[in-house]
Amino acid sequence: MTAEANFDHVVPMLPAFINGTLDRLEAGQVRQHLMRCAGCRAELAAWEAVGDAAWAATEQARLPSAELWGRVWNEIDGSETPAPVAGALPRGSPEPLRLGARSNGAPPRQRWNERMTTMLRLSSRRVSRPIWGTVAAAALAGALILTPVGGYAEGLITIFQPKQIVAVPITPDEMQSLPDLADYGTVNQPAHQKSQRVTSAAAASAAAGGMKVLVPGALPSGVPTTATFEVIPGESGSFTFSSAKAQAAAAAKGKTLPAMPANIDGSSIQITTGPAVVTVYANQQALSQAASEARTSENTESAAANLGPTLIIGQTTAPEVKSTGVSVIELEDYLLAQPGISPDLANAIKAIGDPSSTLPIPIPVNKAVSHPVTVQGVQGLSVADSTGLGGGILWQKDGSVYGVAGTLPESQLVAIANSLH
Amino acid sequence: MHHAAAREVTWVNQPVADAERRVLDRIAHGDRNALAELYARHQAVLFRYLVQLTGDHGLAEEVLQDTLVAVWRSAASFEGRSTVQTWLIGIARRQAHNNLRRRTLPLADVAELEVVPANEPDPQDAVLASAEREELAAAIKCLAPVHREALTLAFVNGLSYREMATVLGIPEGTVKSRLSNAKRALRTLLEAAEGVGP
């Protein structure tokens, strides 16, 4: 049935209108009808409420258990022997993939907006900031959740220097309820230094203190071949724990906290991030236009559509955290016991293993999926936008953290990552 | 009305669809990483669909496991006549049927053949628009599985009427009837809860 066949009203078309599966002509007809029919607009409101609730009804669905993946391979292996394939992982080796709940209050139509957001984030500085912001946030969270320590005093020891990267699934609720670390002490961060944009790898290397700036051996067709290089200076900051401040902040919120151990109170940690270089291969004009349209946007999809294949490559020296005293384990135990850290999240972080050498990357379970991949001979992390439109690969090697992201299939991103030289 | 422009970006999805077909091809050749990739991409919507369909988390996991095993064994049979998601949901649904047959979960709506989908706006549907989201979500969980499934396919999985018709094995007209019936049933549940209505 089309809107024309039922010219007077468009009631049966409304679910498909809402989920965006009508073709352009039908959608236009429905839109026009809605402009002049209050009855159908009321029906639209009813259907939107139903659609929203249908999402909400699945929100409590927990993720499939981590054991499911192993059971799948057990069943497959127990019943057949598939031909071995080069590159295939050994039995059961792909780790459980976590993905799930949609954020509260998000109506179904937001999937398209989220897609747009993803597209735009995979571009220019809007891309680089979130990506490296995530790394920095992870480092900080890793440091603060997994570490602490002593400011500028003597005897600074390195307590955190990532050697590998792992995903920590985090739900929207957990994200929102995370304790505000500013309540636990004082952050001392020097003034933010400006980044600079250059047009060659050599200039980027020079601006980044001689860092070897890697470039891909080959680009997939469709990806612009000219790149811009953004050089972000390294930064250093410290955090000093204060039991009195933590208790006061908690009291102001009507909460009580577990007592801060005496050796943590007053101790501080120093966090240092090295310079970072972010290389962007994108249609700059389309990028600016898409970003501009996204701000004003009723028609963000067409802007995203014009963006075309986009590739971002980032590299930075691994962040480092130093301390004068408290051990990583002591800090981990204390911080994970704070209100707002769910038992699931605490268990996920504790399960990381050696927290002093692992960079945890928070993966919002409603927005992204992740699984381990092998890249440049080491284990990295593949993170994909849950709509499948974009993704990225993160890995750590020889003291540096690398990332390759873009609106490209994972296989191409891995190939690009492996071609970096 | 920004939600209506979705189809305009269909071409953006095309490379993804092509890539997924290649993933299925790799699965057909025994590449385990490829099954992991497919799972990563579709795990959430498949699981949500199955939890809604079965109404039981543990059962949904069982069926999801059966589904992945079936995909491993039958990836070569994917002919590209539907999207990969639609194909996967179809497999999941068949696995659920196999599993649920002995549990007598009704997945057909015996009444819908007699009911023509409502073409006219119904003022009583205002109760849906004004209901609290949580209240509506709770009511959806009380719907008959056949209605819950239709709403999930449309609004969680985002399938078109044609894709829903393929998955459910019914004509597109019946898809519309089923959605219409689901909405009516939902309204009845709300009205009953509020002590008004029929």
Q: Is A21 on the interface with B (CB under 8 A)?
A: yes
Asked whether the predicted pLDDT for residue A399 surpasses 90, the reply is: no
Residues from chain A contacting residue B137 (CB–CB below 8 Å): 53-54, 56-57, 59
A108, B158: Cβ pair inside 8 Å? yes
Please give the Cα distance from A33 to A24 (Å, whole number): 14
Q: Is A89 on the interface with B (CB under 8 A)?
A: yes
Cα–Cα separations (whole angstroms), residue A1 to A7, A143, B104: 10, 59, 33
Cα–Cα separations (whole angstroms), residue A320 to A167, A234, A357, A359, B178: 19, 11, 10, 10, 58
Residues from chain B contacting residue A29 (CB–CB below 8 Å): none
pLDDT at A180: 73
Please give the Cα distance from A130 to A137 (Å, whole number): 10
Segment A28-52 mean pLDDT: 90
Q: Name the 3-class secondary structure at A279.
A: strand
Q: What is the DSSP letter of A217?
A: S
Please give the Cα distance from A392 to B92 (Å, whole number): 29
Cα–Cα separations (whole angstroms), residue A14 to A40, A96, B2: 9, 38, 14
Residue A351 pLDDT grade (very low, low, confident, very high; cuts 50, 70, 90): low
> Mutate which of B37, B46, B116 to disrupt the A interface (most A C-beta within 10 Å)?
B37
Q: Is A286 on the interface with B (CB under 8 A)?
A: no
**Using CB atoms, which residue from B22, B120, B155 is nearest to A11?**
B120
Please give the Cα distance from B180 to B115 (Å, whole number): 9
Q: Of A217, A226, A216, which is closest to residue A313 (Cα–Cα)?
A: A216
Quickly tell me which residue has 């989920």 as its tokens: A19
Segment A264-282 mean pLDDT: 83
Q: Name the 3-class secondary structure at B198.
A: coil
Residues from chain B contacting residue A85 (CB–CB below 8 Å): 26, 29-32
CA distance B104 to chain A (A): 23
Residue A39 pLDDT grade (very low, low, confident, very high; cuts 50, 70, 90): very high
Strand-pairing partners, residue A269, are: A239, A323
Asked whether the predicted pLDDT for residue B108 surpasses 80, the reply is: no
Q: Of A20, A17, A21, A42, which is closest to residue A30 (Cα–Cα)?
A: A17
Ranges of each domain in chain A: 11-59, 64-97, 111-419
* B117 and A12 Cβ atoms separated by less than 8 Å: yes
What order of strands is seen across the sheet that includes strand A391-397? A196-198, A228-232, A276-281, A311-317, A400-406, A391-397, A378-385, A368-375
Quickly tell me which residue has 């963006």 as its tokens: A307
Residue B172 pLDDT grade (very low, low, confident, very high; cuts 50, 70, 90): very high
Residues from chain B contacting residue A34 (CB–CB below 8 Å): 1
pLDDT at B90: 93
A54, B134: Cβ pair inside 8 Å? no
**Using CB atoms, which residue from A54, A65, A87 is nearest to B140?**
A54
> With helix as H, strand as E and coil as C, how does A354-415 read?
CCCCEEEEEEECCCEEEEEEEECCEEEEEEEECCCCCEEEEEEECCEEEEEEECCCHHHHHH
Highest averaged pLDDT of the listed ranges A222-236, A237-251, B140-154: B140-154
B66 or A263, which is more confident: B66
* A168 and A360 Cβ atoms separated by less than 8 Å: yes
Tokens of B196: 């008004």
Asked whether the predicted pLDDT for residue B157 surpasses 60, the reply is: yes
Residues from chain A contacting residue B136 (CB–CB below 8 Å): 49-50, 52-53, 56
**Residue pLDDT, tens place only, A46-87:** 999 999 888 888 876 666 777 788 888 888 887 654 433 333
Asked whether the predicted pLDDT for residue B99 surpasses 60, the reply is: yes
What single string gives the DSSP state of each residue in A115-134? HHHHHHHTSHHHHHHHHHHH
pLDDT at B18: 73
Please give the Cα distance from B176 to B51 (Å, whole number): 23
Nearby residues of A309 by Cβ (< 8 Å), 6 or more positions away:
A220, A222, A223, A406, A407, A408
Q: Name the 3-class secondary structure at A87.
A: coil
Mean pLDDT of chain A: 70
Residues from chain B contacting residue A51 (CB–CB below 8 Å): 151, 154-155
Mean pLDDT of chain B: 80
A31, B1: Cβ pair inside 8 Å? yes
Asked whether the predicted pLDDT for residue B3 surpasses 70, the reply is: no
Q: Is A209 on the interface with B (CB under 8 A)?
A: no
Please give the Cα distance from B143 to B174 (Å, whole number): 18
Q: Of A392, A415, A412, A395, which is closest to residue A404 (Cα–Cα)?
A: A392
What single string gives the DSSP state of each residue in B141-170? HHS-HHHHHHHHHHHTS---HHHHHHHHTS
Strand-pairing partners, residue A236, are: A272
Q: Is A306 on the interface with B (CB under 8 A)?
A: no
Closest residue of A to B6, CA-based? A20
Segment B69-87 mean pLDDT: 88
A73, B32: Cβ pair inside 8 Å? yes
What is the sign of the dihedral through the CA atoms of A143, A149, A150 and A154? Answer: negative
A73 or A290, which is more confident: A73
Asked whether the predicted pLDDT for residue B9 surpasses 80, the reply is: no
A174 or A253, which is more confident: A253
* A361 and A395 Cβ atoms separated by less than 8 Å: no
Cα–Cα separations (whole angstroms), residue B136 to A12, A325, B189: 20, 54, 9
**Using CB atoms, which residue from B6, B133, B138 is nearest to A301?**
B6
A322 or B63, which is more confident: B63
Please give the Cα distance from A135 to A113 (Å, whole number): 24
User: Predicted ipTM?
Assistant: 0.84
pLDDT at B101: 66
Please give the Cα distance from A239 to A388 (Å, whole number): 38
Asked whether the predicted pLDDT for residue A319 surpasses 50, the reply is: yes
Asked whether the predicted pLDDT for residue A388 surpasses 60, the reply is: no
**Residue pLDDT, tens place only, A103-154:** 232 333 323 333 333 333 333 223 333 333 344 434 433 433 333 222 223 3
B33, A88: Cβ pair inside 8 Å? yes
Which segment of A300-309, B138-147, B176-185 scores lowest on mean pLDDT? Answer: A300-309
- Across the A:B interface, residue pairs with CB atoms under 8 Å apart total 255
B45 or A117, which is more confident: B45
Which segment of A187-191, B110-114, B136-140 scores lowest on mean pLDDT? Answer: B110-114
Q: Is A68 on the interface with B (CB under 8 A)?
A: yes
* A402 and A394 Cβ atoms separated by less than 8 Å: yes
Nearby residues of A227 by Cβ (< 8 Å), 6 or more positions away:
A199, A215, A279, A280, A281
Asked whether the predicted pLDDT for residue B131 surpasses 80, the reply is: yes
Which segment of A140-154, B13-27, B152-166 scores lowest on mean pLDDT? Answer: A140-154
* A227 and A280 Cβ atoms separated by less than 8 Å: yes
Residue B140 pLDDT grade (very low, low, confident, very high; cuts 50, 70, 90): very high
Angle between helices B57-74 and B32-54 (to 10 degrees): 140
A305, B8: Cβ pair inside 8 Å? yes
Please give the Cα distance from A348 to B187 (Å, whole number): 41
What is the set of domains in chain B, with CATH numbers?
2-103 (1.10.1740.10), 112-194 (1.10.10.10)
Asked whether the predicted pLDDT for residue A383 surpasses 90, the reply is: no
Which segment of A24-33, A141-150, A332-341, B18-27 scores lowest on mean pLDDT? Answer: A141-150
Which element (helix H / strand E) includes A169? Answer: strand A164-170
What is the sign of the dihedral through the CA atoms of A390, A200, A205 and A129? Answer: negative
> Mutate which of A2, A17, A43, A76 to disrupt the B interface (most B C-beta within 10 Å)?
A43
A1, B176: Cβ pair inside 8 Å? yes
